[in-house]
Structure 1
Amino acid sequence: MKTKFFTIILFHSFLTVFIAQSGNVGINTSNPVEKLDVNGRTYTNSLYLRNPGEPTTTGGHFLATSDNNVSGTSLQLYDPTVGNSALFNYMKLVLTGVPKSGITDYDTKIDANNFLAVIHNYSFGLANGDSDVTLDYIGAQGVNDSKQGSPDPDIRMYKSNGTWHLKAIFTNSTLIDYTNNTSPSTTYNNFTLIFYIMVHKKLIAKQNIPNININLGGANGSSQSIPKPSGF
């Protein structure tokens, strides 16, 4: 393949431009593989991308900002063929044999340094797939039976020792089998919990937004002037 050589003098520095027969233009590279192939650093005030979320035909790369650099202005290439996960991950986690007290600490082994994990949705069931599950107040049979179980369970992801952990417990309540409406089973101890988890690769995060602490002073917040979180 023939290659034409051009030399451009700019501000007393030398820049070599190569134009291949394919029509590709290379700067500091004699074998340009794209319409414009720059081997070196570039500096510009504006950069417009056509279809930035689509993979290229030559490498399947995605452009994403990195939260590892100090300035937050550089771009990194993400290659799904060599990366350990996609930028966005939707995971279904099914836990069986769960006791009626729930889950105190389950280590998902998901790296908390490189991923952000949140619970998108969840459901409860019996071992046979039935969904007749409810909450009951913890107490002796016949004592405080008029009390309803906590309607707001503590179900969340949290960081511990570098990985994401999962918790699903209930305040003063336990899960019960309600397949028999007249006599629910308070001894059933084999539940199935299903969690739908969104896992985001931190490569796409612009920055870590600082914690926000607002004192409402005893008011309901409707009349307060709340500052907008930084970065939005």
Structure 2
Amino acid sequence: MTKITSIILLLGAVWINAQVGINTTKPEKELTVNGTMKTSGMVFKKPMEKLGADENYTFIIKSPAPENKITAYNDSFVPNSPAPINLVQFKITCDPSDKDWVNQFDTKINSNKFLVVISSFGFTQPTRTYSADWLTPMPQIFAYADGGTWKLKADYQGFSPDSSFPTGVWTLNLLVFDRSYAKDFNSTQDLRASTTGSAAAPLIQ
């Protein structure tokens, strides 16, 4: 009886330490699958195992219907491929004769595939107006889709840097979302004679 128990314990130890491969003869983890897989009720190992120095991540996202698209992102596979959310920065030097006006800048970002939001901005020069002193400069900054790409506009309308100042440079930071995983909603409201109001219906809930 003692011998049988020892054999069972030994086999159990071998099984616990084994690595299983499906469609591969060289499994890298406890379970390595080379091919498609369908699973439900998946339980992740706790604590989550950290990637090794020579390992990289793969980020998998499934978009909702009707696309039902599964996309895998891995910088080691395609270093210049876009991620679901991207941060893009443009530094735009203005026309020396105006110093602060960007009437239209074509980012060349596909407006049918991506959604662009200006997250922050900066301008290198102070601006002023030559009318009443109490006016406060307010930048007009827009990202808009036109002709299949995203365009940018930036200006201190009615204001400009002093003629003695260098030409201004805009820094525009954009958040660029893959439209497969993002939605944009538009609503037009009229407050009429009131200063308060509410949406007719929730856009998202």
User: Above 0.5 in TM-score?
Assistant: yes
- 1:174 aligned to which of 154, 159, 174: 159
Corresponding residue of 2:202: 227
The one-letter code sitting in structure 2 at the alignment partner of 1:38 is V
Map of 2:93 onto structure 1:
96
Matches of 1:101 and 1:27 in 2, distance apart?
61
What whole-Å deviation, never above 9, does each CA across 1:109-145 have from its counterpart, x for those lacking one?
33444544332222223xxxxx4x22426xxxxxxx2
> Runs of 5+ in structure 2 lacking a partner?
1-13
Q: Which residue of structure 1 aligns with residue 21 of structure 2?
A: 26
Q: Which residue of 2 aligns with 1:41?
A: 36
Matches within 5 A, 1:71-90: 72=68, 75-81=70-76, 82-85=78-81, 87=83, 88-90=85-87
Query: 2:127 — aligned with what?
Result: 134
Higher-strand-fraction structure: 1
Which amino acid counterpart does residue 36 of structure 2 have in structure 1?
R
Asked if the contact 2:18/2:30 (under 8 Å) is kept, the reply is yes
Q: Is the 8 A contact 1:94 1:192 kept in 2?
A: no
Partner residue, 2:7? none
Aligned equivalents of 2:80 and 2:139: distance in 1?
33
Deviation at 1:217, TM superposition (A): 5.2
Give the Å deviation of 1:211: 2.3
1:65 aligns with 2:39: no
Native 8 Å contact 1:92 1:194 kept in 2: no
How far apart are residue 155 of structure 1 and its match? 0.5
Contact 2:161 2:168 in 1 (8 A): no
1:195, CA displacement in angstroms? 1.4
Q: Is the 8 A contact 2:107 2:152 kept in 1?
A: yes
Q: Distance in 1 between matches of 2:80 and 2:92?
A: 24
Q: Output the CA distance in 1 between the equivalents of 2:71 and 2:54.
A: 16
Give, in angstroms, the shift of residue 49 of structure 1.
Answer: 5.1
Instruction: Give the alignment's Cα RMSD to 1 decimal.
Output: 4.0
Residue of structure 2 in register with 1:162 after alignment: 148
Q: Which has more helix, going by share of residues?
A: 2
Stretches of structure 1 lacking an aligned partner (at least 5 in a row): 1-18, 126-130, 138-144, 178-186
For the residue of structure 2 that corresponds to 1:45, the secondary structure is coil
Taking a change above 3 Å as real, the CA distance of residues 113 and 61 of structure 1, as seen in their structure-2 partners, is: farther
Q: In the TM superposition, what is the alpha-carbon distance from 1:168 to its structure 2 partner?
A: 0.7
Deviation, 1:196, is: 3.8
| TM-score, normalization by structure 2 | 0.64
- Percent of pairs identical after alignment? 23
**Post-superposition shift, 1:167?**
0.5
Shift in Å at residue 165 of structure 1?
1.9
Letter in 2 for 1:176: P
Alpha carbons 2:120, 2:174 under 8 Å: kept = no
CA offsets per residue over residues 162-197 of structure 1, 9 Å max, x none? 3322101344x13131xxxxxxxxx45852223141
